[in-house]
């Protein structure tokens, strides 16, 4: 039987890019269906309104809301549309997805992350399991990402350093702000081990892309030079150059069709003209982002899949993950530095690039038995002037205006520099954190929207407080004033995984160890949905690495690499 394409990939973010790149390079025809538009480097500009104050790169919540269910202080659960609540789980509906807007913190998982249950035992009310693969299985693919996507950094020894097959990163670290040296000095005084933060950002031109322009507006902004290793810039554009990849942007996939025998027969989607279309392929890869992947599969019912595609065991959408942790900040007054040092501290373009992993496993008798901890990253407060200025208007005594507000704004922006703590720990998977289909609300295409239940586990807060307090200790040792640290039970909306857990047991997992559906041999899921636990670092590098691993498995299933000839580039076809 002939098919339209060898591979159909739904979505184009970090979980999709490696599959698109690898399969096109291996000689297979690949079609990419992406709901958002195809924007290029030239389309990304440093506009705070577009980036952070308006929905320029994400859907209008009137058309595409989510319903979020959260627990109230009295133990009751309340559901509300994101259009009313201000929550927003959309992080980038464009070709390349949210990887266009990431800060590019690239920490690997460590061997312990793959064996949390074996290492630390069960946790009450948490669904912690070991991964069906090991760090050794994923390590070569972390290295592949370093070279293909482009990761900059510097390897230094520290107590929880993970094994590496290469001695160092292929690219030197991005330029560092003087505050990095202050962090190093403070950590040395405290006996801690500050490490350079690897970043998926090129410090100079390489891989057919330009280097970083160091303008200070990085995280949450698209990259105008191509230095940031987004799925679009680093992978999809390379795939397009083979002539074997076609990107159909502004194409909303509404349903994956199956036959009466339960096999996938086609993908249905709405094109940019609002017309219903369909296509078929030998292999289907879903990588829409964890919430939307679960929603699409739950919506794709059929005679053999009455509860959704690959959901005969009822596990689809369960064990949704965010990132646990905490945060904090402190302020370094310029007046405490010499004139020359103060001038250098005003720089807004270079990166802090410092992290701590001394408590990746917490061995502190005051905290209890040894248990999994996490990572602390130090970063500049985001330079966005409108957001920062708006926050100065409110005080505990009401609103400020006039001269008092002017003096506060001057003090905030001119007299010192704020350094932030971002602490990451495992979000404990639990029965109250999942994705379902909402029973009443539909999107503008008439499909049920995702109903996201965001149950938190007390362990997230315990570890988050511990890590944040350690970060605050560093800031105080640096001489920072107004140091605060905290943990939060609210899920960060930009760090989402789980919902299609992989494992060896078809009764307790959605995917097999190769991220193939237990129920359909030609359906793979390659975004962060596959993760049974999230680790204590941002997810993007692990998603990239696993997607490269799964791409190799797909090539094996298809019979190996095909002959490769370069033909015409095709893109932006809807």
485 and 336 housed in the same domain = yes
Q: What domain count does the chain have?
A: 2
> Considering the entire predicted model, what is its pTM?
0.96
* 168 Cα distance to chain centroid: 24
Structural domain range at position 346: 167-197+324-426+457-490
Burial class (CB in 10 A: 0-12, 13-18, 19+), 395: exposed
186 and 137 housed in the same domain = no
> Does 86 fall in a domain?
no
- Indicate which CATH number applies to the domain containing 126: 3.50.50.60
Per-residue pLDDT of the chain (574 residues; tens, 9 = 90+): 578 999 999 999 999 999 999 999 999 999 999 999 999 999 998 888 888 888 889 999 999 999 999 998 888 999 999 999 989 999 999 999 999 999 999 999 999 999 999 999 999 999 999 999 999 999 999 999 999 999 999 999 999 999 999 999 999 999 999 999 999 999 999 999 999 999 999 999 999 999 999 998 999 999 999 999 999 999 999 999 999 999 999 999 999 999 988 899 999 999 999 999 999 999 999 999 999 999 999 999 999 999 999 999 999 999 999 999 999 999 999 999 888 888 888 888 999 999 999 999 999 999 999 999 999 999 999 889 899 989 899 888 889 889 989 998 888 889 999 999 999 999 999 999 999 999 999 999 999 999 999 999 999 999 999 999 999 999 999 999 999 999 988 899 999 999 999 999 999 999 999 999 999 999 999 999 999 999 999 999 999 999 999 999 999 999 999 865 433 333 343 3
| Contact assessment for residue 447 and residue 160, using Cβ atoms and an 8 Å cutoff | no
369 and 463 housed in the same domain = yes
236 and 346 housed in the same domain = no
Nearest to 519 by CA among 220, 370, 315: 315
In whole angstroms, give the CA distance from residue 20 to residue 526: 11
Nearest to 27 by CA among 280, 312, 244: 244
> Does 555 fall in a domain?
yes
> Does 159 fall in a domain?
no
Q: Which residues contact 68 (CB under 8 A, 6 or more apart)?
A: 79, 80, 81, 82, 85, 87, 89, 452, 454
> Does 83 fall in a domain?
no
132 and 213 housed in the same domain = yes
DSSP strands (E only) in 433-551: 433-442, 448-454, 481-487, 497-498, 523-525
123 and 28 housed in the same domain = yes
In whole angstroms, give the CA distance from residue 490 to residue 326: 10
346 and 378 housed in the same domain = yes
394 and 471 housed in the same domain = yes
284 and 135 housed in the same domain = yes
> Does 523 fall in a domain?
yes
46 and 110 housed in the same domain = yes
Other C-beta atoms lying within 10 Å of the C-beta of residue 189:
11
φ, ψ dihedrals at 163, nearest 5°:
-65, 145
Encoded tokens for 51:
């980036």
Encoded tokens for 288:
């829409």
475 and 570 housed in the same domain = no
Other C-beta atoms lying within 10 Å of the C-beta of residue 402:
7
132 and 260 housed in the same domain = yes
Concatenating the DSSP letter of every residue in 260-274 gives: TTS-EEEEEEE-TTS
> Does 419 fall in a domain?
yes
């Amino acid at each position: 039987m002939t098919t339209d394409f060898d591979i159909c990939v739904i979505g184009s973010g970090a979980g999709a890019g490696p599959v698109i790149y690898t399969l096109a390079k291996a000689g297979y025809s690949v079609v990419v269906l992406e709901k958002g538009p195809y924007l290029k480097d030239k389309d990304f500009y440093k506009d705070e309104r577009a980036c952070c104050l308006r929905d320029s790169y994400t859907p209008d919540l009137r058309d595409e809301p989510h319903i979020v269910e959260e627990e109230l202080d009295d133990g009751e659960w309340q559901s509300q549309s994101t259009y009313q609540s201000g929550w927003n789980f959309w992080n980038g509906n464009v070709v390349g997805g949210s990887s266009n807007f990431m800060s590019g913190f690239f920490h690997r998982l460590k061997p312990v992350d793959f064996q949390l249950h074996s290492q630390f035992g069960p946790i009450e009310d948490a669904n912690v399991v070991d991964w069906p693969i090991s760090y050794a299985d994923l390590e070569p693919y972390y290295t592949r990402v370093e070279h293909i996507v482009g990761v900059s950094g510097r390897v230094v020894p520290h107590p929880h350093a993970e094994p590496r097959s290469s001695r160092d990163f292929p690219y030197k670290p991005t330029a560092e702000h003087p505050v990095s040296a202050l962090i190093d000095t403070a950590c040395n005084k405290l006996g801690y081990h500050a490490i350079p933060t690897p970043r998926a950002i090129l410090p100079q031109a390489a891989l057919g892309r330009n280097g970083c322009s160091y303008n200070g507006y990085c995280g949450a902004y698209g990259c105008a030079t191509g230095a940031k290793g987004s799925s679009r810039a680093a992978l999809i554009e390379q795939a397009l150059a083979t002539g074997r990849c076609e990107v159909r942007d502004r194409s909303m996939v509404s349903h994956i069709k199956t036959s009466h025998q339960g096999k996938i027969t086609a993908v249905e989607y709405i094109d940019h003209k609002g017309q219903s279309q369909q296509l078929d392929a030998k292999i289907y890869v879903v990588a829409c982002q964890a919430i939307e992947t679960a929603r699409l599969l739950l919506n794709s019912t059929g005679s053999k899949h009455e509860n959704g595609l690959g959901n005969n065991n009822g596990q689809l959408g369960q064990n949704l993950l965010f990132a646990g942790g905490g945060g904090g900040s402190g302020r370094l007054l310029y007046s405490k530095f010499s004139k020359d040092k103060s001038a250098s501290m005003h720089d807004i373009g270079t990166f802090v690039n410092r992290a701590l992993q001394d408590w990746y496993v917490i061995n502190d008798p005051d905290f209890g038995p040894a248990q999994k901890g996490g990572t602390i990253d130090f970063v500049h407060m985001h330079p966005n002037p409108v957001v920062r200025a708006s926050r100065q208007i409110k005080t505990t005594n009401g609103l400020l205006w006039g001269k008092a507000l002017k003096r506060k704004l001057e003090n905030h922006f001119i007299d010192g520099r704020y350094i932030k703590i971002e602490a990451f720990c495992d979000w404990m998977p639990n029965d109250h954190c999942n994705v379902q289909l909402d029973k009443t609300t539909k999107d503008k295409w008439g499909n049920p929207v995702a109903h996201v239940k965001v149950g938190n586990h007390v362990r997230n807060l315990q570890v988050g407080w511990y890590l944040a307090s350690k970060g605050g200790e560093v800031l105080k040792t640096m001489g920072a004033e107004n140091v605060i640290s905290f943990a939060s039970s609210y899920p960060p909306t930009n760090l989402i995984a789980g919902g299609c857990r992989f494992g060896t047991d078809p009764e307790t997992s959605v995917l097999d160890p190769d991220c193939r559906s237990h129920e359909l041999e030609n359906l793979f899921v390659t975004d962060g949905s596959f993760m049974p636990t999230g680790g204590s670092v941002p997810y993007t590098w692990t998603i990239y690495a696993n997607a490269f691993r799964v791409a190799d498995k797909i090539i094996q299933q298809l019979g190996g690499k095909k002959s490769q000839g370069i033909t015409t580039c095709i893109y932006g076809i809807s």
